């Protein structure tokens, strides 16, 4: 069938009615033997090939699968084929493609062949006792890339584990392996982050798993959605190793009080016609333009047709699999704006009913990378449709990001922290996470807001501040000026409702030497430089204080729709400065109200304080003042380019 005809065929209700299939898919071993199943309703023939190796030699056996109802093809054997590699020849319209199993749970080198796996065999010791640590009062997420996190010698990680899952299991690493300055897990724990978000750890295609050890890619090019990436394993050849090592990493993070979020990229596949999804059912999993060509809403060559029922099932199954098999605590959806709201809500519901309400975090990018060709009637999960999403499905808030550090259009554009335009009302919007009933707000509650200033995309916060403070070319900003702006930006971020998120290294002035999109830049650009964490320990400490304080402030941690009623007043003491007064009542706090004074100017800013006993919690220099807070009354003063956070004592 022509591609355009297929589009009409797959979009018809009759197709779903006749072929939607709920049978288990993939390969599985049990006491009865091994079962293979693949959904391929348009295929004329499906042949299974069995291999002893994951990457070399010919098949030692082949078997025709039997066609059953609803497009399901199966083959059974009484043998236990645990550890055997396999793949399928799928013939559609006379054309045969060799593919890996779309439901593969294990694979050989570079994901070319799938592997039958008895998953119990991949569990590290103590895995059955592994539990996520107790949820804290706030979620503060640190985004890391397995390779750039520990590949540098400064990480203090033994060479054989650098850039690997294994590095995430080491608890006592220090800068260069000497002294007491922590790195990696040791550092994250000390800073007080509650979650790490792993940039893609499913199997992706841009890095040869047996190739140059210095090859680098972010990994937004999915090949096998349900198998870990092999280049982060100590052995990419044997399918069970990457599984065990990723589980060990999750286990170690859990043991150290940190929950684990996974970055998932269901919106497109690395290849189109060479992907296993395309090979199994040509075009079914992909959105098409009217002429039959692939729609490119991802900007990466293809986009997934999440509104089709077996595609929706595929994504839901995959999320549930990672949550169950790998104990993953949350999911960050890349280009969530390409997936439909029905599917996202269904995923939320399925996770809630299995693990408890809100237990697993769910959020994504509420935008796409291009124009989508979704089926008419489909509502996509972009920023304009957040009201259609469950209140516990979050989205990155670009409003706060751009207000604080300047827009992305021009590296020199400025924000609150870099002498850009300032407006107290915008500041109040940021504080409220752009949530609630307000014409400028897209988020229905702070539970939907991911407040952030930096992620792997675009310039690091440090680089953006350097660019925007640069002014005319003769003036190079002094490090202390950038630091001052960085601290102000951080203080504003920590006064924003919603969940907090940052790129690893934001808290030590991470630089990618001005490179904006470093997805395939060399390691020297991407590597996390842990010596810098030691050099910038003033900044690191400032973040650490903000993290610790934040967890104790109910006025900011509140995720309910009603959180916006905590706003008491917005004050504008002078041009370029603003204050937001918040109701902070709640469990475990000494302060009934907060006063957040932001001074973006080069002059000191003083403002009259309302009646009551106020104490200084944070100023531009220290974020630990709350440990021994000085009292202040009548008037408060914020130094140039700084934040001042005050708490009003209860009673
Ligand atoms: Ca791979």
452 CA distance to ligand 1 centroid (A)? Answer: 29
Whether 56 is catalytic = no
Query: What pLDDT is recorded for position 440?
Result: 75
Catalytic choice (329, 334, 506, 593): 334
Catalytic choice (303, 365, 458, 506): 365
Residue of 332, 270, 312 lying closest to 112 (CA atoms) = 270
Residue 439 has pLDDT above 80, yes or no: no
Query: What pLDDT is recorded for position 144?
Result: 98
C-alpha to C-alpha distance for 141 and 456, rounded to whole angstroms: 13
Question: pLDDT digits over 170-226, tens only?
Answer: 999 999 999 999 999 999 999 999 999 999 999 999 999 999 999 999 999 999 999
Query: What pLDDT is recorded for position 472?
Result: 61
| Angle formed at CA 444 by CA 442 and CA 450, multiple of 5 degrees | 75
pLDDT average, residue stretch 405-411: 93
| 3-state secondary structure string across 230-299 | CCCCCCCCCHHHHHHHHHHHHHHHHHCCCEEEEEECCCCCCCCCCCHHHHHCCCCCECECCCCCECCCCC
Residue of 315, 448, 331, 332 lying closest to 393 (CA atoms) = 448
Helices (H) and strands (E) in the chain, counts: 16, 27
Question: pLDDT digits over 294-337, tens only?
Answer: 999 999 999 999 999 999 999 999 999 999 999 999 999 999 99
Mean pLDDT score across all residues of the chain: 97
335 CA distance to ligand 1 centroid (A)? Answer: 21
Question: pLDDT digits over 339-390, tens only?
Answer: 999 999 999 999 999 999 999 999 999 999 999 999 999 999 999 999 999 9
112 CA distance to ligand 1 centroid (A)? Answer: 9
254 CA distance to ligand 1 centroid (A)? Answer: 25
Question: pLDDT digits over 553-582, tens only?
Answer: 999 999 999 999 999 999 999 999 999 999
| Angle formed at CA 505 by CA 253 and CA 143, multiple of 5 degrees | 45
Whether 611 is catalytic = no
pLDDT band with cut points at 50, 70 and 90 for residue 475: confident
Residue 473 has pLDDT above 70, yes or no: no
Alpha helices (H) along 453-581: 461-469, 479-493, 523-526, 530-535, 537-550, 554-557
| Angle formed at CA 258 by CA 484 and CA 331, multiple of 5 degrees | 90
201 CA distance to ligand 1 centroid (A)? Answer: 9
Tell me if residue 177 falls in helix, strand or coil: helix
pLDDT band with cut points at 50, 70 and 90 for residue 447: very high
Residue 634 has pLDDT above 70, yes or no: yes
245 CA distance to ligand 1 centroid (A)? Answer: 15
pLDDT band with cut points at 50, 70 and 90 for residue 437: confident
Six token digits for residue 518: 């470093």
């Amino acid at each position: 069938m022509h591609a355009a005809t297929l589009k009409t065929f797959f979009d018809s209700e009759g197709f779903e009615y006749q072929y939607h299939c709920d049978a288990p898919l993939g390969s599985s071993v049990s006491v009865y033997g091994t079962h293979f199943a693949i959904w391929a309703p348009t295929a004329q023939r499906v042949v299974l090939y069995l291999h002893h190796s994951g990457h070399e030699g010919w098949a030692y056996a082949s078997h025709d699968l039997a066609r059953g109802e609803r497009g399901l093809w199966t083959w059974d054997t009484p043998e236990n084929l645990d550890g055997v590699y396999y793949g399928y020849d799928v013939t559609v319209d006379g054309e045969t493609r060799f593919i890996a199993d779309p439901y593969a749970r294990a694979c050989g080198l570079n994901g070319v062949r799938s592997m039958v796996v008895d998953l119990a065999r991949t569990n590290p010791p103590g895995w059955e006792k592994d539990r996520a640590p107790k949820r804290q009062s706030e979620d503060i997420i640190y985004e890391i890339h397995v390779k750039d996190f520990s590949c540098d010698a400064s990480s203090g990680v033994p060479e054989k584990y650098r850039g690997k899952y294994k590095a995430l299991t080491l608890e006592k690493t220090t800068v260069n392996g000497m002294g007491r300055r922590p790195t990696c897990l040791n550092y994250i724990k000390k800073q007080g982050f509650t979650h790490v978000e792993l940039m893609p750890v499913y199997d992706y295609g841009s890095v040869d798993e047996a190739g140059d050890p210095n090859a680098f890619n972010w990994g937004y090019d999915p090949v096998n959605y349900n198998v870990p990436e092999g280049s982060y394993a100590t052995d990419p050849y044997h399918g069970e190793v990457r599984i065990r090592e990723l589980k060990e990493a999750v286990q170690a993070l859990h043991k150290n009080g940190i929950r684990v979020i996974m970055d998932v990229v269901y919106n497109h596949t690395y290849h189109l016609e060479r992907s296993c999804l395309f090979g199994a059912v040509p075009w079914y999993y992909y959105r098409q333009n009217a002429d039959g060509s692939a729609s490119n809403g991802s900007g990466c060559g293809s986009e997934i047709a999440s509104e089709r029922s077996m595609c929706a099932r595929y994504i839901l199954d995959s999320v549930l699999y990672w949550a169950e098999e790998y104990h993953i605590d949350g999911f960050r959806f890349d280009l969530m704006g390409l997936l439909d709201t029905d599917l996202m809500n269904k995923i939320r519901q399925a996770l809630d009913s299995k693990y408890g309400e809100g237990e697993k975090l769910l959020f994504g990018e509420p935008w796409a990378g291009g124009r989508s060709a979704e089926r008419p009637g489909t509502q996509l999960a972009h920023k304009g449709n957040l009201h259609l999403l469950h209140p516990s499905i979050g989205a990155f808030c670009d409003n706060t990001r751009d207000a604080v550090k300047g827009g992305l259009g021009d590296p020199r554009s400025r924000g609150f922290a870099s002498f850009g335009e300032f407006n107290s009302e915008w500041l109040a919007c940021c504080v409220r996470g752009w949530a609630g009933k307000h014409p400028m707000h897209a988020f229905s509650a702070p539970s939907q807001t991911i407040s952030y200033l930096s992620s792997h995309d675009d310039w690091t916060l440090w680089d953006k501040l350097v660019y925007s403070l640069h002014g005319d070319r003769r003036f190079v900003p002094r490090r202390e000026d950038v630091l001052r702006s960085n601290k102000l930006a951080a203080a504003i971020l920590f006064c924003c409702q919603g969940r907090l998120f940052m790129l690893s290294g934001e808290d030590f002035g991470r630089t990618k030497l001005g490179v904006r999109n470093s997805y395939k830049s060399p390691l020297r650009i991407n590597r996390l430089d842990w010596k810098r964490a030691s050099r910038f320990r003033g900044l690191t400490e400032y973040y650490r204080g903000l993290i610790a304080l934040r967890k104790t402030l109910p006025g900011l941690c509140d995720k309910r729709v009603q959180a916006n009623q905590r706003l008491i007043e917005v004050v504008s003491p002078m041009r370029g400065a603003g204050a937001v007064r918040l109701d902070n009542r709640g469990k475990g706090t000494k302060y009934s109200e907060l006063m957040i004074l932001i001074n973006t100017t080069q002059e000191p800013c003083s403002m009259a304080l309302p009646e009551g006993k106020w104490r200084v919690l944070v100023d531009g220099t220290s974020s630990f003042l709350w440990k021994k807070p000085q009292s202040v009354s009548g008037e408060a003063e914020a130094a140039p380019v700084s934040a001042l956070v005050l708490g009003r004592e209860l009673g």
